[in-house]
A and B are shown apart, each in its own frame.
Chain A
Amino acid sequence: MATLDTPTPAAAPVPATLNPLNRRPRDAGRSAVAKALGYSAMIVAAAAILLPFAWMVISSLKTNNQVFTVPVTWIPDPIVWQNYLDIWARSDMTTWIKNTLILSVTVTVLQVVTGSFAAYGFSKMRFKGRDALFVLYIGTIAVPWQSYMIPQFIMLSNVGLSNTLWAIIALQTFSAFGVFLMKQYFESIPEELSEAARIDGLSEYGIWRRIIMPLSVPAIASLTLLMFVNTWNDYLGPLIYLRSPDLWTIQLGLKSFIGQYNAEHALIMTGSVLSVLPVAIIFLLGQRYFVEGIASTGVKG
């Protein structure tokens, strides 16, 4: 990480030996204290961030009446794996996961293709109206989806898309996010490459497919992971559009499960763990791409 180029008290010793001002001993002592403080702050913050997740996993491995005990039991005894078998029988988890997977994969693929295609137009082509169009895209960042979900719903209902998975696909695919992320990355690719390809007779579409896309694998990876997770986690879209239970996604399903079995704390935690698990795995495997994607655009969803 590039963090390392900022001088911290810990970085002081080298110049300090040459330093005519006699402040070295105080600095060293202070830097040790600062370091210790830094580490304790980090440990405390990490604990605060992780404890809810830990509690979720631990509770999912308990029997129901062990979830709320005084004092809190941090190690379940016995460890109850049964919840992870029961949940499949007591809920439509399989349907929910299937629907969510269909949506996440379709949306991700469409978003990567149309987003990178549009990004090429915005970053590599020069034509009239381009910048005005891009301003339109940017302008919608300040417009919350909640404020236009009603007319959007009326429109999609009128064409018969409400209560179908298509509604969610339509909703998620065309977000401006993919265009931003890919545009940002495309602009870092030297123009000379495209020029050379043009002289060699490659069409613009050919340049997109053979030169730009292969060079943009990190950006594509970022977009893919962010979109997948975003669609997997989406609650509001499905809540509004997917009314029949056989279309429910994991988030909707989990929510209705909570309502239905509101006293079955352990089982609810099991469902929560299952809904978070795929995202956690994807995140751990590709966290570099998440971080780069977020840092380069600063916009999500």
Chain B
Amino acid sequence: MATIAADERSPGAVGPGPDGPRTGRNRAGRKLKLRNTLIGWSFILPNFIGFAVLTLIPVFALFYVSFTNWNVFGAAQWTGLDNYTRLFGDASFQKALFNTFYYSVFHIPLTLAASLGLALLLNRKLRGVAFFRTVAFFPYITSVVAIAVVWNMLFSPEFGPINQFLRAIGIDNPPGWTTSATWAMPAVILVSVWREMGYYMLLLLAGLQTVPAQLYEAARMDGANAWQRFWNVTLPGLRPTMFFVTVMLTIQSFKIFDLILVMTNGGPGQSTLVLSQYIYQKGFVENQFGYASAVSVALFAICLVVTIIQFIANKRRES
């Protein structure tokens, strides 16, 4: 290092005398900084190049493609806002949009309630808690295809175990589940809550364990009952985790795709058609990449806006 500093001093010496050494040291420092930056980048680059090429560029390209009439063959033609005006008149798009919200409106609170319930249950001195945690998490790491096919059989209207059970407890006319336009979406919601609750349970459980035990003790001393302790100690302590879980859960809900694709393929009719699937259909089945990109922008915008609203709401509640 010292030799470099000495070398650096000669150009610095052109300036006023006393500044010479200090400039030299600055230069050496700057050189060190540059070296650090280069090494830092060299660590990040192997992953970042892939990340930039496969994620960042497509995200930006998306907006461009959505203004064109690109299909697989031929070049893209700029069509301005055509794709977007078409969205407004597209009944299938509106159906998909409606279904996506329908799914989310039930899936988010139900999953939140179920996973919070499980987390509270596991956050107690009971035997078998570790085993139960394993069990509850298992559906989440099982493949969607296997899960969808099993549930489809369980839901089978005539001889499926679920309807047999419903008939046994006195419901003479059990729903047709995935074969019925009315019941297909509830069936999908049920399966997705079942599948995801174990995952969010783990996150909430980690959050619950950060709530200080003294707070519960203090609340108990003050004579708070179980419900009051939950409402005034547990929930406020859990707020950061709850916020994170809600944001993740919301994005997960809006992008729901694979489960529906395998369970109902959007049907019967369009009763379970959701946005992601509509993108897939327009893009990969009908090769209308331009229009599919406009639908993608809609999905992107919804996720972004809802996430921003959640962040603002969270900030406001904190202050």
Contact = CB atoms under 8 A, between A and B. Distances in A.
A143 B59 contact: yes
A2 B209 contact: yes
B50 A170 contact: yes
B257 A236 contact: yes
A141 B142 CA distance: 22
B79 interface: no
Contacts of A122: 44
A20 B165 CA distance: 52
B161 to A, nearest CB: 5
B174 interface: no
Interface string B278-319: 011001100001001100110110011001000000000000
Q: Which range contains the number of B residues in contact with the other chain?
A: 35 or more
B125 A4 contact: yes
B255 A137 contact: no
Interface string A150-183: 1111110100000000000011011010110000
Contacts of A56: 146, 150
Contact of A143 (B40, B258, B300): B300
A289 to B, nearest CB: 12
Interface in A279-301: 279-280, 283-284, 287, 290-291, 294-295, 298-300
Interface in B49-104: 50-51, 53-59, 61-62, 65, 70, 72
Contacts, number: 305
A1 B125 CA distance: 10
B123 A150 contact: no
B242 to A, nearest CB: 12
B150 A147 contact: no
Contacts of A11: 125
B123 A117 contact: no
Nearest to B277: A146
B110 interface: no
B29 interface: no
Contact of A255 (B145, B153, B194, B244): B145
Interface in A224-257: 229, 232-233, 235-236, 239-240, 250-251, 254-255
Contacts of B276: 144, 146
Interface string B22-63: 000000000001001101111110111011011111110110
A66 to B, nearest CB: 11
Contact of B125 (A8, A125, A137, A144): A8
Contact of A254 (B129, B133, B145): B145
Given A8-B124, A174-B55, A287-B134, A235 B258 contact: yes
30 contacts: A3-B123, A6-B124, A48-B194, A49-B194, A52-B194, A68-B159, A115-B47, A127-B36, A127-B40, A128-B33, A130-B40, A130-B44, A136-B56, A141-B248, A144-B276, A144-B303, A145-B255, A149-B296, A152-B55, A154-B61, A173-B50, A176-B51, A233-B143, A235-B262, A240-B284, A251-B145, A269-B150, A283-B138, A298-B244, A298-B248
Interface of A: 1-11, 35, 38-39, 41-42, 45-46, 48-50, 52-53, 55-56, 59, 67-72, 113-115, 117-118, 120-122, 125-130, 133, 136-137, 140-155, 157, 170-171, 173-174, 176, 178-179, 204, 208, 229, 232-233, 235-236, 239-240, 250-251, 254-255, 258, 265, 268-269, 272-273, 275-276, 279-280, 283-284, 287, 290-291, 294-295, 298-300
Given A55-B150, A144-B299, A147-B59, 18 more contacts: A52-B147, A52-B150, A56-B150, A71-B164, A71-B168, A115-B47, A117-B43, A125-B43, A150-B279, A151-B59, A151-B61, A152-B55, A154-B289, A204-B43, A235-B262, A240-B280, A254-B143, A276-B142
Interface of B: 33, 36-37, 39-44, 46-48, 50-51, 53-59, 61-62, 65, 70, 72, 118, 121-126, 128-130, 132-139, 141-147, 149-151, 153-154, 156, 158-161, 164, 168, 194, 198-199, 202-203, 205-206, 208-209, 211, 213, 216-217, 220, 226, 244-245, 247-248, 251, 254-255, 257-258, 261-262, 275-276, 279-280, 283-284, 289, 292-293, 296-297, 299-300, 303-304, 307
